[in-house]
């Protein structure tokens, strides 16, 4: 696992951003909570920093809809919410990533973020074979997770599918 991309700062940043920006309040994952399967919203962003890598946010589709509704200030049954769900997840990941990079590398370090790449897919949480530092939460009784992966020399280079 990463020596730089530590889970603790990522978890703290994610909790703050999700609560402040999208009114999604993260609880710790109970020990007895089993895996969940279904439609997921996923966003991945790459970054160039002293330790380059990527961060992926995965959450159930209904949580993505809740995030989109909260970001738009709309009701979940508004048709615009469904159309905006993946963009909302990408924007949340963008906010989390910027703050995580600052936490990992300091405010004075120069780094850059790519554009979030989003997808809707069937999947399982927690991920069966994580490749990096993973933090997980429960939001409204649903699992979500973030994974930070180093992609520098000798590390995983390709997108995870």
Tell me the CATH number at 114.
3.40.1550.10
Neighbours of 140 (CB within 10 A): 12
How far is the C-alpha of 16 from the C-alpha of 32, rounded, in Å? 25
Domain presence at residue 84: no
pLDDT in 10s for each residue of the chain, 161 residues: 556 899 999 999 999 999 999 999 999 999 999 999 999 999 999 999 999 999 999 999 999 999 999 999 999 889 899 999 999 999 999 999 999 999 999 999 999 999 999 999 999 999 988 889 999 999 989 999 999 999 975 445 444 33
Which residue is it, tokens 């995983």? 156
Domain presence at residue 161: no
Q: Which domain range does residue 117 map to?
A: 7-29+37-61+91-150
Domain presence at residue 156: no
Domain presence at residue 102: yes
Torsion angle defined by CA atoms of residues 152, 45, 121 and 57, in that order, rounded to the nearest 10 degrees: 100
**Structural contact between residues 100 and 94, judged by C-beta atoms closer than 8 angstroms:** no
Domain count, the chain: 1
Domain presence at residue 119: yes
């Amino acid at each position: 696992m990463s020596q730089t991309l530590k889970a603790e700062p990522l978890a703290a940043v994610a909790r703050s951003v999700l609560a402040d920006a999208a009114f999604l309040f993260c609880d710790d994952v109970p020990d007895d909570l089993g895996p969940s399967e279904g439609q997921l919203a996923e966003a991945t962003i790459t970054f160039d920093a002293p330790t380059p890598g990527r961060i992926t946010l995965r959450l159930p589709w209904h949580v993505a809809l809740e995030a989109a509704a909260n970001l738009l200030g709309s009701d979940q049954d508004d048709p615009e919410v469904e159309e905006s769900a993946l963009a909302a997840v990408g924007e949340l990941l963008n906010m989390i990533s910027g703050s995580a990079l600052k936490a990992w590398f300091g405010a004075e370090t120069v780094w850059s973020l790519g554009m979030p790449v989003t997808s809707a897919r069937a999947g399982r949480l927690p991920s069966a074979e994580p490749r990096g530092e993973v933090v997980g939460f429960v939001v409204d009784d649903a699992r979500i997770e973030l994974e930070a992966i180093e992609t520098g020399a000798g590390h995983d280079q390709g997108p995870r599918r």
